[in-house]
Amino acid sequence: MLPFFITPLYAALCGLLLIVLSVRVIGLRRKYGVGLGTGEQPELQRAIRVQANFTEYAPLALILLLLLEVSHRAPDWALHLLGLLLVVGRIAHAIGVSRSGGGSAGRAVGVACTFIMLAVSAVWLLLIAAATTRL
């Protein structure tokens, strides 16, 4: 049995979301006959950016969540809240960017949720490190 059980749940959800985003890119590549790049197709360009943006943020967010979980200094409810912020944020961002290339409510919510999750996790880990570091 794993010594932690919350982060794997959100890692699994993120893995499934990445598959959905990737299949969407593959489908659009086939639709437009584009093997590499975007073929100057705005819909494909947005899908590629959504997928890339996910892969830019999700790994670090999951690492931070895991470090908080294994520190045993964060209650389960807080870890679930942070995990939900990440997953909901990434879904909102994907929907917002996919439906409109520019600013949208979904994109703004997605960015806000992701940044809040990252900031809270990072600051919490800094506080743990400061409290436990021996000089």
CA triple 108-109-112, angle to 5 deg: 85
3-state secondary structure of 74: coil
What is the pTM (predicted TM-score) of this model? Answer: 0.93
Instruction: Please give the biggest Cα pair distance in the chain.
Output: 59
What does the mean pLDDT of the chain come to? Answer: 94
Please say if the pLDDT value at position 135 is more than 70.
no
pLDDT band at 134 (very low <50, low <70, confident <90, very high): confident
According to CATH, what is the number of the domain 6-132? 1.20.120.550
Please say if the pLDDT value at position 101 is more than 70.
no
Residues 6+ apart with CB under 8 A from 26: none
Please say if the pLDDT value at position 12 is more than 80.
yes
User: 50 with 97: CB under 8 angstroms?
Assistant: yes
The percentage of the chain sitting over the pLDDT mark of 90, rounded to a whole number, equals 85
Rounded mean pLDDT of 33-62? Answer: 94
User: 18 with 55: CB under 8 angstroms?
Assistant: yes
3-state secondary structure of 129: helix
Distance, in Å, from the CA atom of 51 to the CA atom of 90, rounded to the nearest integer, reads 10
